[in-house]
Amino acid sequence: MKLLFAFIFIGIVPLWAMENAHGWSTESEFSQNYPTIMDYWEKGEEGSFSSDIKHEGNFIQIAYKIFLQKKEKGAVVISSGRTESMVKYQEVIYDLGQKGYSVYIFDHRGQGFSDRMLADKEKGYVRSFDDYISDLKKFVGIVKKKKQGKLFLLAHSMGGAIASRYLEMNPEHPFEKAILCSPMHGINVELGKDKTGEHRKFHFWQKEYEGLDLWQKVAGKSKPMEEYVSSPGAYEEEAYKEDNGYTHSQTRYNEFVRDLFVRYPKAILGGVTWQWLRESEIASEKAVNEANLIQIPVLILQGGEDKVVKNSAHHRFAQNMKEKCQVKEISGAYHELLIESDEYRILVLDSILQFMED
C-alpha cells in the first residue's frame, strides 16, 4: 500500500441533525447547568510540583488539579493549548466526569497558574520546548500513583505538540490511547516580507530572521528572543466576532475566553516571544518527522476551517504513524474544538468517547 494511504483517514464528518445521545453539556442549558459545573470544579483536588528543569537557578512550580471518580471507567490526562489555563476546561472536565472518567490537568510552565519565567509575566515564553515535555513526564508520574484503570491522553493545539513529542520520547509511557484536538503539528504564521516583497515563512535559525519586518523591530535589543513577535503583544480583551477563527459559540467564547481572565487575572497571557516561536516550530516539525516512534493508537480531530494550525501537517503525521493513527475532520469547525458550538462539539466529544471505549 502506498504511503499516502497508509494511515486511516476517517474523512469529513457531515453536520446532520443529531440527538445529543450522551447528554453532553449544551449551550442552550449552559446558564442553567453552570452552577453544577462549577460545583464539580470546586471539588477537584488542587496541587503543585517542582519542575525537574530550573530557570535561572530556580525550580518552576507547576499547578495542577485532579478530579477522581470512585469507580472510574478510566482516567484522562489533559495537555492544554497555548495561553490556556486549566480553568478553561471546566465544562470538558465535568462532561468527562459524568461519563465516569477521572481527569488530571495541569498548567504548562509560563501560563495559567504555573510559574512564569520572565519579568513580564504576560509574555509567551519557553526556554526549550523540551521543558514542556519534562513537566508533562513528571505530572504523569504523579498520575500513575493514583489511577485505577486505563489511562488516556487528551491534548489540544500546543498541548498536542507537547503530547506528540512526549509519546515519541518516552516509549515506556502508561497511556493506552491518545486524542489530539487541533494539534500544533504546523503553525500558520506569516512574519512580514523579505526584500523582494514576498511573504516569508518562519524558519528555525536566527540568521533566517534577517529581512523580516517584525524581526527588524527587535533585532537591536539586548534580549531579542524575549521580545514579542507582534505588537502590541500584551493581552487585550476582545469581544466575540463571528469570524474570530477560534469558535462559533458565543456562549463558550464569552465564558471561557473573554470573561475567564476577568475572573482569573493571574492566568492572563499575551502574545508569543521569538523564543517560543522558534522552539515551537522546531518541535512541531520533529513531532511530524518522528511520529513513527509512537506505538499506541492516536486519534486526530481537526476543524475543517482551522486557520491556526496546518491541517496538512496532521496528515503527514498520520502517514508516518501509518495504520495506528486516525484523522477525522469536523467539517466547518474552527480551531477550538472543545469549546465549539454544539453542532461541532457534540461530534468531537462523541468521537473521543467512542475512541476511548472501542
Give the residue from 77, 184, 55 showing the smallest Cα distance to 137: 77
What's the rounded Cα separation, in Å, for the pair 325 and 315? 9
- Give residue 145's Cα distance to chain centre: 24
Instruction: Give the global pTM.
Output: 0.90
Q: Cell numbers of 60, please? A: 518552576
Read out DSSP for 215-262? HHTTTTSSSGGGSBSSSS-S-------TT-SS-S-HHHHIIIIITHHH
> Of 267, 273, 269, nearest to 225 (Cα)?
273
pLDDT tens sequence for the chain (358 residues): 334 444 556 565 544 335 789 999 999 999 999 999 999 999 999 999 999 998 888 899 999 999 999 999 999 999 999 999 999 999 999 999 999 999 999 999 999 999 999 999 999 999 999 999 999 999 999 999 887 889 999 999 999 999 999 999 999 999 999 999 999 999 987 544 444 444 444 443 344 554 455 555 666 777 888 988 876 688 888 899 999 999 999 999 999 998 999 999 999 999 999 899 989 999 999 999 999 999 999 999 999 999 999 999 999 999 999 899 999 999 999 999 999 999 999 999 999 999 999 9
Query: Are 102 and 67 spatial neighbours (Cβ–Cβ below 8 Å)?
Result: yes
Q: Which of 195, 49, 43 is nearest to 114 (CA)?
A: 49
Which set of grid coordinates corresponds to residue 333? 469547525
CB 186 within 8 A of CB 284: yes
**CATH code (residue 16):** 3.40.50.1820
Domain enclosing residue 216, as ranges: 3-357
Number of domains in the chain: 1
Nearest 5°: the CA angle 33, 96, 75 is: 150
Contacts of 354 (CB under 8 A, 6+ apart): none
